Amino acid sequence: MNNLINKFSISNQYIYKSGYIFYGISVFLILCVMLLSINFKYFVSNKDFSNISIDSQNKEDSFIELKEPSFNSIQQLKINTGKNNLSTKDLSNIFQKHAYLIDSVRKMKQVPDITIDKFPNDFNEINSTKVKKSLFIKSLLPLIIRENNKILDTRNRILKIQSSSVNYIKRSEALWLKKQYVNYKVKNHNTTDLLLRVDTVPVSIALAQAAIESGWGTSRFVTEGNALFGQWSWNKGSGIVPIERDIEETYEIKAFDSLSDSVASYMKNLNTNNNYLDFRKFRNEFKSNDDALDSLRLLKFLVKYAENENYSNILEKIIVKNKLKDFDEVKIYIAPYEVATLNFTQQ
């Protein structure tokens, strides 16, 4: 009987050991498969991005927009270039990869929220005018719309305070409102006068002025200082000295850390500078009468922006020829991905 029990015990021990070995081998194999799968995805992902320039060079024209995108299919966009200086071909392929096409923007009135801090250094080497304009517009559209959205948020908050039925406002609201009076240079602390200044700039006008002042993104001022709108500054060292500047002149072209900063400064200039008071009044009349804002009718009030007396006519020609009014009603598409900041840094 004891022999039988001993044999049974030895048999159980063997079974247990075999089970442990089988279990250990199974776990090891599963881990190996998982690691191989992760490494394969990482390899494919990096290979896909690092070969953007190589792939685009193998195509006759990598900038041609071939298909109608579906904005609902846009995946999460996370791009961190660090010190890598992407080329215009890389930028074009990134736009195409994420279904950002001009024809679709005109039709759907939506753009993905992509931030371009600086144009690639080889932007002025693009031979095709059509390609250059397309990349220029796609790069600036989200920046202009986002800045307008910020202004709208501020405007709506002021309207809310103004329409409040109570006779007093919170201290935090009063301090915030005081800050807006300072930012928009309203000395009489009147909310009606403040609202005249805190308002959006038509996208078509912003695009046209950026195109003129920056040569569609190719000027020296854009390359060296993200200066899209040729704003003057009389603070020495605050910008870039024009080569053609007269000896007795002291102005510089104001430089910015990013294209977004340039857009924000431009809009604040139109909203605060006394040269554009009529621009602001006429814009307000449109909104007061609930009329659709016609950007072309505002152009005559921008004649003082440049020394050229035909400046308003030049703006109109650019807007009409390039159908820029198509972008006046465009909104930023709230896609299921984080905003991508493409930092093009010089090496």
pLDDT at 336: 47
Residue 224: how many CB atoms within 10 A of its CB? 13
Question: What H or E segment, with its residue span, contains residue 135?
Answer: helix 129-162
Beta strand 340-342 pairing with 114-116: parallel
- 228 CB burial (10 A radius; 0-12, 13-18, 19+): buried
| Calpha distance 82→220 (Å, rounded) | 23
pLDDT at 26: 66
pLDDT at 274: 95
In total, how many domains does the chain have? 2
Can you list the residues of the chain whose pLDDT is less than 70?
1-24, 26-28, 31-84, 165-166, 234, 248, 250, 290, 334-347
| Calpha distance 257→76 (Å, rounded) | 26
139's CB contacts (< 8 A; 6+ apart) are: 91, 116, 119, 217, 259
Residue 284 lies in a domain: yes
pLDDT at 252: 81
pLDDT at 339: 44
> pTM for this one?
0.74
What is the three-class DSSP state of 19? helix
Is the domain of 7 the same as that of 105? no
Is the domain of 279 the same as that of 167? yes
Residue 26 lies in a domain: yes
Residue 188 lies in a domain: yes
pLDDT at 156: 96
pLDDT digits (tens, 9 = 90+) for 206-230: 999 999 999 999 999 999 899 999 8
Residue 272: how many CB atoms within 10 A of its CB? 16
CB 312 within 8 A of CB 303: yes
Residue 61 lies in a domain: no
Give residue 313's domain range: 71-342
Residue 63 lies in a domain: no
